[in-house]
Amino acid sequence: MKLLNTVRRVLLLHHKQIQAKFFSSAADFNTVNNSQCEQEYGHTPVMPAEIIKALNPQDNQIFIDMTFGAGGHSRQLLKAASIKLYCLDRDPYAYEKAIKLADEYGKKVTPLLGKFSEMQSLLTKHGVKPNSVDGILIDVGCSSMQMDSSERGFSLSKNGPLDMRMDGKRYPDQPTAADVLNTLDVPSLVKIFKAYGEEKRALKIAQALFDARYMLRTINTTHELADLVQSTLGSEQRFDKLKRTSHVATKVFQALRIFE
């Protein structure tokens, strides 16, 4: 991205491992804690203190929050200094929240609706000059707003339509996760489960999904998918990296969320 060639600080958070990669000099952290954020914003943005330390916003600087979500990190940045902040998200519900933030902060906040690939043209449209951005925050994954809403179909624990589109409201014709499962062939499903979920029983699960079609059984809800994976893998026990029991369909859900 030419416009961003000389950004001084890019902070990339990876939810799954809760670790941050700093392409800048990160110092010691310890100023804002998570429970404080929870009380203020109704959800917990990850690593708030680390973000402020690493990006170190100063008055009159320009930042981009490329994954606005519910805006927890954006609010942290805005509180830390008098900055200009561009708030990007592909999810129209997140964009609505960014508009509300702009109502509070006026010209300091510019909401942007779009994908990462659209960012350069959106910034150009808003007159952002090359080499003018001081820092970027990327907090990849699903937002709590997306995961907590059963009708969006992201979460294994909440029954709802198997949708998983981050911008389904913007592109209603885009295939849902149910469309993917009910139409792709076995090798394509295996690729998705392996590449994005590291699912070691990918072939068995893909074959079961394919066979279900011959029994006129389409998979349309999150719980139907979870049940099918469970019945396919039988009594297999799984644990996450923290040794907690995890549902056998967790990796399939992860793979579909990333693929979507």
Ligand X SMILES: C[S@@+](CC[C@H](N)C(=O)[O-])C[C@H]1O[C@@H](n2cnc3c(N)ncnc32)[C@H](O)[C@@H]1O
- Minimum distance from residue 257 beta carbon to ligand X (Å): 10
Cβ-based nearer residue to ligand X, 88 or 156: 88
φ and ψ of 112, to 5 deg: -130, 125
Cβ-based nearer residue to ligand X, 125 or 238: 125
Cβ-based nearer residue to ligand X, 190 or 192: 192
Cβ-based nearer residue to ligand X, 143 or 232: 143
- Minimum distance from residue 258 beta carbon to ligand X (Å): 9
- Minimum distance from residue 161 beta carbon to ligand X (Å): 18
Cβ-based nearer residue to ligand X, 141 or 175: 141
- Minimum distance from residue 231 beta carbon to ligand X (Å): 31
Strand partners, 63: 85, 135
- Cα 74 to Cα 68, 101, 260: the distances in Å are 7, 9, 25
- Minimum distance from residue 52 beta carbon to ligand X (Å): 13
Minimal CB distance to ligand X: which residue? 69
Cβ-based nearer residue to ligand X, 182 or 197: 197
- Minimum distance from residue 139 beta carbon to ligand X (Å): 4
Task: Count Cβ atoms below 10 Å from residue 117 Cβ, excluding itself.
Answer: 9
- Minimum distance from residue 68 beta carbon to ligand X (Å): 6
Q: Please report, as ranges, the residues that interact with ligand X according to CB under 6 A.
A: 15, 45, 67, 69-73, 88-91, 94, 115-116, 139, 141, 143, 166
Cβ-based nearer residue to ligand X, 97 or 251: 97
DSSP letter, residue 248: T
